[in-house]
Amino acid sequence: MCVLSPFCWLYHYCPFQTHAPVKGHDPAQGYGSTSTGSQSPPSECMPLSPRMRVGSVKESSEFSDSSGPSMIEMKRAQWKDGLMQKRSLSVPNVDSMDHRVTLLKGSLDFTMKYDKNERKLIVNILKVTEMILSDTAAVISPYVRVRFYRVPYQFFSLSKDHVINNLHIEIRTKMKKHNDNPTFNELFVIPIDKDDLKLYTVKIQLCDLDKYSRHIVLGEATFTLKKLNLAENEEAECSESLQPPIDEDIGDVSIGLNYLPTAEKLYLTIVKIRGLRPMNKQDNTTDAYARVALMFDGRHLKKSKTIIKKGDLNPEFDETFAFDVPSQKLGSVYFRVSLLHAGKTKEEHRLLGRVYIGPNLDAESHAHWMEMIQLPRKQVTAWHKIQG
């Protein structure tokens, strides 16, 4: 065993050293690189509730991505401060989990007018007033989304409840960045027959695009066009109090996660979807597919999509996508999975909902991500609720 100090000039020539002197750290690998480095075991974590574990994946050169660089490189500043001091899996802290801001109070002012000659509904989104957020220091970028749900003729007289399962039209305003008292003054023209006004339920939502590029509903208001009596009045001036959003039952998606530490490959598998709403009116089915995006700091790093499963409300995919992710960045990246209905043309494709999975998001996503880190080389599968 060498007793010389590593700082002594003779240290480098000592023949009794058991280890070669450290000359510096390995350079950080950019996203998209297929080269690998030495790895240390993943850090120990608190045990989580068991999930369905599907087999294991053997690490070898077979799993290297030969498609070339497909990720953007991280900025140098994001690699400093000791991020590359250890070649170990990055395990996020529970305290770093995202806490969404909520709307405690607020009202949305707008007007609606029906043009009988043009057979068009004119909607003017004015402004949001008296907004109070749960976090007074929060910075939001709000916009307004208006959804028109049409009630089928044969069911209209059977229920007095608002029908919100048959989306017909959706409009949205421009985003007002870093503004907690937004004024929009945006006009929208929607073609609707006069006799059909009574068939529509309207849901107005105040939304925010957060730092993870998630579309968060802060508050909403629901009413029927029949209530406004637009056929008689020239213009209806409205101020709706915004209430906490109600979760819609859109469906669930089963997603598998798997990480290979040596190859630094992150795999996401779209297993299957259940409980989708019918989008094809002819046969009450949906032509579903999924888009998968690896995200960092609100930006896309890589995107892929599944095939289209036609005419199925509970489609099974079992499609796996590979992403190059350095182990030190497992605590920073996350996935956005968008579920869509494929229309006859590209313009007719409809977004059904999204799922976000990552270490710093909600508790369910955090638990799934942590279990993936605890069980390297094994696919960990869990169900996630699709968000509208």
Checking if the pLDDT of 158 tops 70, the result is no
Are residues 316 and 365 both part of a single domain?
A: yes
Checking if the pLDDT of 90 tops 70, the result is no
Checking if the pLDDT of 199 tops 50, the result is yes
Q: What is the pLDDT of residue 52?
A: 44
Structure tokens at 340: 């869509």
Q: What is the pLDDT of residue 333?
A: 94
Are residues 296 and 185 both part of a single domain?
A: no
Q: Is residue 7 part of a domain?
A: no
Q: What is the pLDDT of residue 185?
A: 96
Per-residue pLDDT tens digits for 313-357: 999 999 999 999 999 999 999 999 999 999 888 878 888 989 999
Averaged pLDDT of the chain: 76
Checking if the pLDDT of 56 tops 60, the result is no
Mean pLDDT in residue range 250-269: 95
Are residues 91 and 110 both part of a single domain?
A: no
Per-residue pLDDT tens digits for 159-191: 444 444 577 888 999 999 888 889 999 999 999
Question: Which of 223, 241, 259 is at the close of a domain?
Answer: 241
Q: What is the pLDDT of residue 67?
A: 36
Question: Which of 241, 258, 277 is at the close of a domain?
Answer: 241
Question: Which of 241, 261, 296 is at the close of a domain?
Answer: 241
Checking if the pLDDT of 35 tops 60, the result is no
Q: What is the pLDDT of residue 228?
A: 85
Are residues 88 and 153 both part of a single domain?
A: no
Percent of the chain, pLDDT > 90? 43
In terms of C-beta density within 10 A (0-12 exposed, 13-18 middle, 19 or more buried), how is residue 97 classed?
middle
- Residue 214: phi and psi, rounded to 5, are -95, 140
Q: Is residue 9 part of a domain?
A: no
Residue 108 or residue 47, greater confidence: 108
Are residues 305 and 325 both part of a single domain?
A: yes
Checking if the pLDDT of 68 tops 90, the result is no
Q: Is residue 69 part of a domain?
A: yes
Are residues 122 and 222 both part of a single domain?
A: yes
Q: Is residue 314 part of a domain?
A: yes
Are residues 272 and 225 both part of a single domain?
A: no
Q: Is residue 48 part of a domain?
A: yes
User: Which pLDDT band, with edges at 50, 70 and 90, does 10 fall under?
Assistant: low
* Pick from 260-264, 265-269, 276-280: least confident: 276-280
Structure tokens at 218: 């802060």
User: Which pLDDT band, with edges at 50, 70 and 90, does 240 fall under?
Assistant: very high
Name residue, tokens 């109600």.
246
Q: What is the pLDDT of residue 55?
A: 38
Return the amino acid letter for 133.
L
Q: What is the pLDDT of residue 139?
A: 83
Residue 45 or residue 175, greater confidence: 175
Tally of structural domains, the chain? 2
Checking if the pLDDT of 359 tops 60, the result is yes
Are residues 66 and 142 both part of a single domain?
A: no
Which range of residues forms the domain containing residue 222?
Answer: 103-241
With a CB cutoff of 8 Å and minimum separation 6, the contacts of 215 are: 207, 208, 209, 354
Residue 339 or residue 75, greater confidence: 339
Residue 350 or residue 248, greater confidence: 350
Is the pTM value of this prediction over 0.75?
A: no
Checking if the pLDDT of 93 tops 60, the result is no
Q: Is residue 14 part of a domain?
A: no
Looking at mean pLDDT, say which of 9-18, 20-29, 176-185, 365-374 comes out highest. Answer: 365-374
User: Which pLDDT band, with edges at 50, 70 and 90, does 206 fall under?
Assistant: very high
Percent of the chain, pLDDT > 70? 70
User: Which pLDDT band, with edges at 50, 70 and 90, does 11 fall under?
Assistant: low
User: Which pLDDT band, with edges at 50, 70 and 90, does 283 fall under?
Assistant: confident
Q: What is the pLDDT of residue 99?
A: 59
Are residues 301 and 385 both part of a single domain?
A: yes
Longest dimension (CA), the chain: 98
Query: Across the strands, what pairs with 243?
Result: 220
